[in-house]
A and B are shown apart, each in its own frame.
Chain A
Amino acid sequence: MSENQFDYVKPKFLNEALDIISKSVNPFILAGGTDLIDMIKEGIVQPDMVVDLKGIEQFNQITFKNDILTIGAGVTFSQLIVSKVIKDNFPIIAELSRTVASVGIRNRATMIGNICSAVPCMDSGPLLTSYEAMIILAGPKGERKVSAENWFINSRKTAIEKGEIVTGISIPYPGKHAGCFVKLGRYEGEDLAQVNLVILALSDGNFRVSFGSVAPVPVRAKKIENLINGKTISHTLIEDAFNIIEEEIKPITDIRASKEYRMHMAKIMFERGLNAALSRLNGAGPEYGISVI
C-alpha cells in the first residue's frame, strides 16, 4: 500500500548487510518492522533500501555466558517471554515484554528495534539503563559498544552512526536480585506507556531505578538510588523520594495523559514497584507479570 518504492534485501550475514548499507543513500534496517512499516506507509521515512535482519541467524539468539546476557538484534519480545534463561535469571525482562503491544506485534517486534526507534514511551529503555546494559554495534570501523546511559540522546535519536547496525544488547548479571516493571496505560489492553518504571532490588541492599515516558529519554534516577540505597524503606523515606521524583522527571501533557497525572502516578508506581521488588527479593510479593497498579 506504500506510495514509496524501495529495494528490499534479506542478507544472511552481517558483513553483507553492512556492505549494502554502505552503498545505499538512505538505508533503513528492518528487524520486526512494526515501527518501520508504519513510518514508511505514512511517509515519515522514505528509504531507498530496506535491509531485513531476520535472515541473519546469529541475531536470533539469547545467550547467557560468564554472567552476561546477550540479546540478539532479531530476538522478538515473544522470544523473551518464553526464554528459560530469562525466566530463571532476569524475570523482569519477561514481565516487561508481556506488556509490549499485543501478541501479534510481540511475535514480530524486537527489543533492539524498540531502542533504535527510541520513542520516549518505549518500554525497553528504562530496563536497559537500570541494568547498565551495553548496546553492541557493528560498522565500517568494526565493533563498538555504547552504554545504555549514553545510547539515548533525545526523542527518536540514539548514538548510532551512519553505516552502523545494532547487533545486540549485553546485560551484565547484577548478582541475585529482583525487580519490578510498572507501566501506566489507559486500560487493560495494549497501550503505549504514559509512565513506565523499572526498579531493581539487589542483594547488597542497593537499588536501581529508571523511569520512562516522563522525559525525552529514559531517566536513571540516581538521586533516588542514593537516597534509598542500603536503607530500610520507611514511609518518611518514600516521602523524601517523592520530592526527588519531582526534580528528576519532567513529564509532559499530551493526548494520552496530563503531566499532573503522570507525576502523580510516577510516585505511586515508584512506591508500589519498590515494595514489590523488595518482596520479590525475599521470595514473596506478587508473581512476575501481575501489575501492581
Chain B
Amino acid sequence: MEESKYVGKSTVRIDGKAKISGAAKFIEDIDFGADLLYAEVVESKFAHAIINSIDTSEAEKFPGVVKVVTGKEFPYRFGLYMHDRYIFAQDRVRFVGEQIAAVIARTPAAARKAAKLVKVDYTELPNVLNVEDALKKDTFLLHPELGNYQHVPWFFPKPDTNISHLRKVRKGDAEKAFKEADFVFEDTYTVPRYAHCAIEVHGTIGLFDNSERLTVWTASQSPYTQRHLFAEALSPLGLTHKDVRVITPFVGGGFGGKAGVSMEIIGAALATTVKGRPVKVLWSRAQEFYNTYQRQGLTCRIKVGVNKDGKIIAMDNTLYWDAGAYVEYGANVVNAAGLSASGPYNIPNVKIDSYCVYTNLPPGGPYRGFGYSEFLFGLESHMNEIAKNINIDPVQFRRINAIREGDILNYGGKMNPNGLIEAIDKVAEAIDWGKKEYSDDPNKAIGKGIALFWKAPAMPPNASSSAFLKFNEDASLNIMISGMEIGQGLLTVMAQIAAEVLSVPPEKIRVETPDTDRNPYEWQTVASHVTWGCGRAVERAAIDAREQIFDLIERALGKERSSLYLQDECVKSKKDIEFSLPLKDFIINGIMKEDGTYRGGPIIGRGMFMPEFSSALSDPETSQGGKPNVHYTVGASAIKIEIDRQTGKMTIPKAVLAIDVGRALNPNLIKGQITGGLLQGIATVLYEDMRYSDKGKLLNASFSDYKIPTAMDIPAEVVSIIIETPQPDGPSGARGMGEHTMIPAAPMIANAVEDALGIRIKSMPVTAEKIALSMINENIKADIINS
C-alpha cells in the first residue's frame, strides 16, 4: 500500500465545530421571515377508498387561510423508478394518512384547524393489507393502471395483478441439484415493517418567486434527485431544471428515509400556488412514521440443498415483499435484494423470485440495508439450522461455502476481491467461538451467534458523482459536492481525499452542503456509494487541479513537468531539490514573469465519476447478462448474549463486527459506523416493529410504543475489526460500508438465542416476550413428552 499522509488517518470531523457549537443549520433553523406560510395536510382516514368529492369551502373561510389545494391542481404522476404516485391523491386513496389536500395558512394553528374543516366524501374499497391477500386470484387491484406506468427498464410489472415487479434469478439448474443433494432444508421466515426514526423529522420549504423560479429547501439525502423529480413532476407548469433549485442544509439523520422524494413534493407543489411567499411543510413525529418511506415487510421461503460434506449445491429463495401503496422507490429494494438473496455464498445452482407486492399500507422504500437486512434474517438463521442438522459447526459451515474472489455471482459476473474468510476467522476468534460459557446466575443462559453479510450499492448503472474544487489565496480549499453529510462523515473524508492529492491539510479544506445552483451533480447519498463514487469525483477534481498547477509551473518557470510533485502545500521538483514554491504564492494570482506580466490565474478543479462498466440490462427470466452491481462489500459479525430463561430479557456483553472496507480512509469514522449500525440493527431485532390495525392504521406512530434503544441498551462492548482488501476502482482502494454494519444483527441474535436456549425464532422481532412464551411452550411440550 502506498504511503499516505492524510488518507487512512482518523482526521477529526471538519464539520464537528459547527455541529458542537450549534452553528450548523438544519432545516428548522432557517428563518424565512414574516411572509412564511404554513401548510397542513388533509389525510386519508381509510386504507383504501374512492374519493367522491372534497368540500373545501369551510376551510377556505377560516381566518388566516390563504389557499386550499387538492389533487385537482396537480393531476400528474411521478416517481423515482416507476411513475405510480401522485402529489395529492386523485380519485383514490391507498393508505391511511395519504395526503388528499393541503391548507395553506398564515399560522400553523390556523392551517391545522382549517384542515379539519375539509370534508372528504369516500366510498370504502376492500382493504388489501398483506401479501397473501394481495396475491389471491380474486384479489382487489390497487393499481388497475399498472400496465401503463412508466418505469426503468429493469422492472417487470405484472399488469392486472398486485405484483408491481418480479425479479427472477436463475443460475445453474436448481431443480436438478435439489434432486441430487444429500439433504434439503426448507423454512419460512418473516420480517415486519420498520421505521427509520431519524431524530430530525422531514421538512420542506418551497418558494416560487415572482420570476417563476422555484427554490426548495429540504432535509434530504438526495438534492439532485429531488430537483429532477420536482422539475419532471411540475413540468406541465412550464418549469425546467434550471428553474428549480434545491438547497439542503445539514440533515439530522437519514438512514434512507430522506432519500428520493416523499413529502418534499408537497412543499414544492404548494409553493407554485402561492407565488412570492415561502410555504413550509413540516411533518409531525406521527406523520414521520406513517407518511414517509417505511422499511418493507418480508416473507421469505427458503430451500437449500446441501451435501454431506457441507457444500451447498442449490438454493431456492422466494421473497414476498409487502411494498405498500406506491413502489416508485421500494420496487428497487425488491430488485436489489432479489439479485443478491443467495447471501455471500458460492452456490452453483440458484433460483430466486423476489415479488414486489402492492398493499394498502404506507409506501415502502429505502432503509439502511436496502432489503439485505430482511432477507439475511431468514438466510442466516437458516444457515445455522442446516449446520446444526448436518452436524457441522456453523462457522465451519460458512467457511466451506463463503464466496471468494472470482466466484460466479448470481447474475453471471465475478466476485470482487474480498476478505470474507479473514472476517469469519477474526470474529470467531474475538467472540471465543466454540467455547461454551455459563452465567453466574442460574436463571441465565449465555449464547453466541454469528452471521455473514454482503451488500452491493443498488444504483442505476449511470449513477454519477461530480465535484468542483477551488483554491483560495492562502491555498486553502473549498470543495463543492452534492453528496450529503448525513452523520457518516462524508465531508471529512472528501477533504482527506483532496488533501492527499494536493498536500493541503484537511483543516484547510471546507466542504459545503449542497445547493444545486452552485454544487455539481450527485445522484443521491444512498447505497453506501458516496465515499466510493463521490470520493472518485473529488479525487479526480484534485488531480485536475494538480495537473493545472504542473502545467502552469512548466509554462511559467520552465520546470520539467514530469519531475514535479506536491508536498507540504508546495510544488517541488525531483530534479531540482532547491525548488519549493508555496501554492499560496501563485494559486490565485499567478506567477510573475521577468517583464512584469503574469501567467496562471485561479485554479479550479473539476471531477466526475460514472461506473461505465455497469449495466442493468439482462435476461428478465434469469437475470443473466448484465453487471448491475459495481461491487459487494462483505463481512462477518458475532455476538454474545445473556438471556434470562424466565423473563426472556437479554443483555449483550459483547458484539463483534468485521468488515472489508477496501481501504479505511478514516478508521474512527468507520468504527462509528460499526457501533451505530450494529445498535440500529440490534434495535430492529430486539424492540422495534410497526403494528397495524385490521383497518390498516398504524398503531404505534410514536416513541411511546415504537421503541428505539437508549444509551442504557447498548452492548457492553463493541469490537470493530477493519479488513482492507483494496477495491481496484475505489478512491485509494475504498469501498462502501455504511449500511452493512446493521444488516447481520437480526440473524446473529436469533442464532445466539438458539445457541443459548435451543429455541429458533423465525419471525422478527425477537423480543423478550417471544422468547419467554416460547420457553413456556417448549416446557409444556417437554412435559407432554415426558408424561
Contact = CB atoms under 8 A, between A and B. Distances in A.
Among all A-B residue pairs, the 5 with the closest Cβ atoms = A189-B710, A188-B712, A261-B769, A188-B713, A268-B646
B557 interface: no
Interface in A250-293: 255-258, 260-261, 264-265, 268, 293
A189 B647 contact: no
Contact of B707 (A1, A3, A187, A293): A187
A255 B705 CA distance: 7
Interface stretch (B105-113, B187-195, B373-381, B506-514): B105-113
A12 interface: no
Interface in B766-780: 767-769, 772-773, 776
Given A1-B108, A1-B109, A188-B710, A265 B772 contact: yes
Contacts of A1: 108-109
B91 to A, nearest CB: 30
A188 B768 CA distance: 12
Nearest to B776: A264
Given A186-B768, A188-B710, A265-B647, 19 more contacts: A186-B687, A186-B707, A186-B767, A187-B686, A187-B687, A187-B709, A187-B713, A189-B707, A189-B709, A189-B710, A189-B712, A255-B691, A255-B699, A255-B700, A255-B705, A258-B769, A258-B773, A260-B773, A260-B776
A189 B769 CA distance: 17
B564 to A, nearest CB: 58
A189 B772 contact: no
Interface string B705-729: 1010110110000000000000000
B644 A191 contact: no
A186 B768 CA distance: 8
Interface string A179-205: 000000011111110000000000000
A38 to B, nearest CB: 10
B649 interface: yes
Contacts of B704: 192
Contact of A293 (B108, B644, B773): B644
- Contact-residue bracket for chain B: 20 to 34
Contacts of A191: 707
Interface of B: 108-109, 112-113, 644, 646-647, 649, 686-687, 691, 699-700, 704-705, 707, 709-710, 712-713, 767-769, 772-773, 776
29 contacts: A1-B109, A3-B109, A3-B112, A3-B113, A186-B687, A186-B707, A186-B767, A187-B686, A187-B709, A188-B710, A188-B712, A189-B707, A189-B710, A192-B704, A255-B691, A255-B700, A256-B705, A257-B769, A258-B773, A260-B776, A261-B772, A264-B772, A264-B773, A264-B776, A265-B647, A268-B646, A268-B647, A293-B644, A293-B647
Contacts of A256: 705
A2 B110 CA distance: 10
Interface of A: 1-3, 186-192, 255-258, 260-261, 264-265, 268, 293
B219 to A, nearest CB: 19
A188 B712 CA distance: 6
A173 B14 CA distance: 59
Contacts of B108: 1
A258 B767 CA distance: 12
A263 to B, nearest CB: 10
Nearest to B704: A192
A268 B648 CA distance: 11
Contacts of B769: 257-258, 261
A166 B112 CA distance: 35
Contacts of B113: 3
A245 to B, nearest CB: 15
Contacts of B709: 187, 189
Nearest to B650: A187
Contacts of A268: 646-647
Contacts of A255: 691, 699-700, 705
Nearest to B710: A189
A261 B644 contact: no
Contacts of A2: 109
B710 A187 contact: yes
A188 B651 CA distance: 10
A147 B273 CA distance: 62
A273 B324 CA distance: 45
Given A1-B109, A265-B772, A189 B767 contact: no
A189 B773 contact: no
Looking at A189, A190, A192, the one whose CB has the most chain B CB atoms below 10 A away is: A189
B645 to A, nearest CB: 10
Contacts of B712: 187-189
Contacts of A260: 773, 776
A261 B768 CA distance: 9
A1 B109 CA distance: 7
